[in-house]
Amino acid sequence: MSYRAPISLPPTRADLAVARVCAHHVTPAIERTLKTLTWAADEKVILASTAAFWAASRAARCQEATKRRADHMLAGALIASALPHVMKRLVRRRRPDRTVVHRERHGVPRSGNAWDSFPSGHALHLGALARDLHALSPPALRPLLWPALAGLAASRMLLLAHYPSDVIGGLALGATIDAAVAAVIPPPDREG
Residue 126: per-residue pLDDT: 96
pTM: 0.89
Q: Are 80 and 46 in contact (CB under 8 A)?
A: yes
pLDDT at 110: 66
pLDDT above 80 for 185: yes
Q: Are 100 and 15 in contact (CB under 8 A)?
A: no
- Looking at residue 192, its pLDDT comes to 41
**By the 8 A CB rule, do 111 and 163 touch?**
no
The better pLDDT of the pair 27, 21 is held by 21
Find the mean pLDDT for residues 179-192.
81
Measured distance between the N- and C-terminal CA atoms of the chain, rounded to whole angstroms: 41
pLDDT of 52 over the 90 cut: yes
26 has pLDDT over 90? no
pLDDT of residue 102: 64
Q: For all residues of the chain together, what is the average pLDDT?
A: 89
More confident residue, 30 or 89: 89
Q: Which residues contact 94 (CB under 8 A, 6 or more apart)?
A: 11, 114, 115, 117
Question: How far, in Å, CA of 130 to CA of 72, rounded?
Answer: 12
Phi/psi at 27 (5° precision): -130, 165
pLDDT tens for 133-183 read: 999 999 999 999 999 999 999 999 988 899 999 999 999 999 999 999 999
pLDDT per residue as tens digits for the range 96-145: 988 887 665 555 566 777 888 999 999 999 999 999 999 999 999 999 99
Question: What pLDDT shows up at residue 191?
Answer: 47
pLDDT by residue (tens digit) across 64-81?
999 999 999 999 999 999
Determine the pLDDT at residue 61. Answer: 84
Gap between the Cα atoms of 57 and 65, Å rounded: 10
Over 80: is that where the pLDDT of 189 sits?
no
